[in-house]
Structure 1
Amino acid sequence: MTSSPLVIIGAGQSGLAAAKAAELAGLRALVLESGDRPAGSWPSYYDSLTLFSPARYSSFPGTPFPGDPDRYPTRDEVVAYLESYAATLDTEIRLGTRVTAVEQAAQGFIVRTESGDTIHAAAVIAATGSFGRPYVPAIHGRERFGGEVRHVAEYRDPKPYAGKRVVVVGAGNSAVQIAYELAELAHVTLAVRRPVQFVPQLRGGRDTHYWLHTLRLDLLPPSVLSRLIKGTQVLDTGSYRAALDSGDISQRPMFTAYDEAGVSWEGGEREPVDAVLFATGYRPHLPYLEPLGALDPNGLPLHQRGISLTHRGLAYLGVEFQRSFSSNTLRGIHRDAHYVVKRLTPCVSDLMGGAN
């Protein structure tokens, strides 16, 4: 058995931010990543994904995105950025190392990996995000439907859907972006619980993220944010709204059931459909914490602002709206990382005898 003052599970944006925060706090950390690249889930997103925030607002402190700061980086640019950032860290990152369980020890935790390794840790940060647990709501008749049903976690590009009738479920940025590119090759309907709410990408000649930063709205706690913003909002330069207004993409209230050939809409209308793509979000993916008893019955972390409510020395990163509007974003994850590392430091000091 090996030991480490701090084990960070996951080497995506959250895990790398945690590693940097640990370095700045003088803590020796070990990062465990199941994939073969220190980029988390980014390599697995759909091919055309671009950030909704400009490069200048999509980077870690002290490490700006290369190139034009006003462009919107692509998926592959984000992957390259994270890999480059990981190379600057003075922290061990073990790739191809999947954590299967975190267990309570007499002091601290035992972290077990798929390869059979065991690591004793004074503290643990769970930073594996949610991509591994896409959410697809249960809808009546799924077993009878003869078409394709997927979450957008499995979507890569529109070519396989050329000429097909596709329903995209969701009203957020990803749902609208995917529906927009599909509409060039397929007949697309956007199925929504509430109509899409568009927000101008530019206000007063500046990107919306300039105002979020300048007015410090990025720092608002979720309780305040929910009173200011109702529902999901989609950033738009005008192209997405025009596609809906023109009918290139139709928008309808969520269908009520599947049938053999398609879906049934409110009011009983049936429509033949070849494929349904769910852009309905993700849930925290933390199966390795189930033996610890740190999760609620739905598998969600029991925490306050990222600090476990069940186990001293356990913290989380990458939970949506964990502490603010910008939690779980490239531009904001560092703030959460410094917060949780600061609160874990006494746990490490206690168990390591003051030596990190």
Structure 2
Amino acid sequence: MTYTTQVVVIGGGQAGLAAGYHLRRLGLDFVILDAQSAPGGAWQHAWDSLHLFSPAAYSSLPGRLMPSQSGETYPDAQHVVEYLTDYEKRYELPVERPVRVLGVHRDGGLLRVETDSGTWYARAAISATGTWWRPFLPAIPGHAAFEGRQLHTVEYRSPADFAGQRVIVVGGGNSGAQIAADLAHDTDLTWVTQRPPRFLADDIDGRALFDAATARRRALEEGRTDTGGVASLGDIVAVPPVREARDRGLLKASPMFSRLVPGGVEWVDGTRAEADTIIWCTGFRPALAHLAPLGLRGARGHIATEGTRAVGEPRLHLLGYGDWTGPASATLIGVGRTAREAAHQIARRLSA
């Protein structure tokens, strides 16, 4: 089957929905292609105890405040899924699912979007596939030698799956700290970080992080000194479970080991720790394989952008992958601004 529209949005998570909201307000014809079988984006695959860093009112997409969750200051992942599902219905966003985009190609004056259920022709495209679908595992010597179980953040669900085990959690960011706190009570836990963990002050949550990212953006736009943004404040938001485990002395980080051995890990001085499971909370890379036919990726895998627009293909915008596609654009509250900018740029280009 072949279809035509003005704009194809690739990805139906928070970034794709924010883009759809602004495209709808501008009166453009568009479709959102989502590879998932249900609404909610990556949030529907998160671990059981995951909570937002911010209260609901500060975790909202454009046009619709997230309602508070009963009994929770910081809503859990299921609440976010319900919010995104309602958002999609409320604004009657044209989401097609499950549709997997195989590749985006130049085709004369149009972009040709090949999928597993047909071909779409469009005058512009927004890629909003995020990073969850491309987990990163570092190249550590002995990786194949370890005889226990290894998994990434995306595969973790509940501490009940590891009760009584010797578990090593690798990663000094928010995911590593939250999963380590989750496991600290019922496992023999070793938490390993590349550098000493940097906890943000206890009174800092997502509201302050968004303000810091916004201040950095303004400083850079005005040619002032880089404020450092969120990175200047620390690496780990002290959400209640993390704070509790830290204050009870359960989150004591060890430095990064040098290699894996059959029964666990080994540090450069020969010290070893035994493990049944290693959980790699080592981040993600942008999921951009569908854009490979355009030949836009640089040496480090990123696509050069001006704002959200791809430098090498001005009909393409990238949304929600991190600060390189807009400050705080990978967050619920932050993606709205860059989604609006992308939609308005596309509208201006189409009208010209």
Equivalence for 1:132: 133
Equivalence for 2:53: 52
1:113-262 to 2 correspondences below 5 Å = 113-115=115-117, 117-202=118-203, 208-211=205-208, 217-221=213-217, 224-226=226-228, 229-230=231-232, 232-236=234-238, 240=242, 243-244=245-246, 246-262=248-264
In the aligned structure 2, how far is the partner of 1:211 from the partner of 1:101?
38
1:257-336 to 2 correspondences below 5 Å = 257-322=259-324, 324-336=326-338
Partner secondary structure for residue 149 of structure 1:
strand
1:96-115 to 2 correspondences below 5 Å = 96-115=98-117
In the aligned structure 2, how far is the partner of 1:330 from the partner of 1:275?
32
Equivalence for 1:345: 347
In the aligned structure 2, how far is the partner of 1:285 from the partner of 1:267?
37
Q: Specify every segment of 5 or more residues in structure 1 that has no aligned partner in the other structure, as ranges.
A: 351-356
Size of the aligned set, in residue pairs, is: 344
Question: 1:29/1:187 Cα in 2 relative to 1: closer, same or farther (>3 Å)?
Answer: same
Indicate the RMSD between aligned Cα atoms, in angstroms.
2.2
Q: Specify every segment of 5 or more residues in structure 2 that has no aligned partner in the other structure, as ranges.
A: 221-225
| C-alpha contact 2:319 2:325 (8 A) present in aligned 1 | no
In the aligned structure 1, how far is the partner of 2:299 from the partner of 2:54?
35
Partner secondary structure for residue 72 of structure 1:
coil
In the aligned structure 2, how far is the partner of 1:300 from the partner of 1:85?
30
Equivalence for 2:39: 38
In the aligned structure 2, how far is the partner of 1:235 from the partner of 1:93?
33
| Matched-pair identity in % | 33
Q: Return the offset for 1:225.
A: 4.4
In the aligned structure 1, how far is the partner of 2:122 from the partner of 2:278?
44
**Can you list the C-alpha shifts for 1:120-167, whole angstroms capped at 9, x where unaligned?**
110000001011100110100111110111111111111121111111
Partner secondary structure for residue 294 of structure 1:
coil
In the aligned structure 2, how far is the partner of 1:262 from the partner of 1:212?
36
Question: 1:209/1:227 Cα in 2 relative to 1: closer, same or farther (>3 Å)?
Answer: closer
In the aligned structure 2, how far is the partner of 1:72 from the partner of 1:241?
14
The residue type equivalent to 1:187 in the other structure is D
In the aligned structure 2, how far is the partner of 1:256 from the partner of 1:84?
47
Q: Return the offset for 1:40.
A: 1.2
The residue type equivalent to 2:147 in the other structure is G
Equivalence for 1:12: 13
Equivalence for 2:223: none
Q: Return the offset for 1:242.
A: 5.7
The residue type equivalent to 1:249 in the other structure is L
In the aligned structure 2, how far is the partner of 1:180 from the partner of 1:156?
13
In the aligned structure 2, how far is the partner of 1:346 from the partner of 1:302?
21
Q: Return the offset for 1:33.
A: 0.4
Q: Return the offset for 1:347.
A: 3.1
In the aligned structure 2, how far is the partner of 1:280 from the partner of 1:251?
15
**Can you list the C-alpha shifts for 1:283-327, whole angstroms capped at 9, x where unaligned?**
110111111112224432222322101112100011111355422
| C-alpha contact 1:218 1:324 (8 A) present in aligned 2 | no
Question: 1:227/1:78 Cα in 2 relative to 1: closer, same or farther (>3 Å)?
Answer: closer
TM-score using structure 1 length: 0.90
Partner secondary structure for residue 65 of structure 2:
coil
The residue type equivalent to 1:218 in the other structure is T
Q: Return the offset for 1:210.
A: 4.5
Partner secondary structure for residue 271 of structure 1:
strand
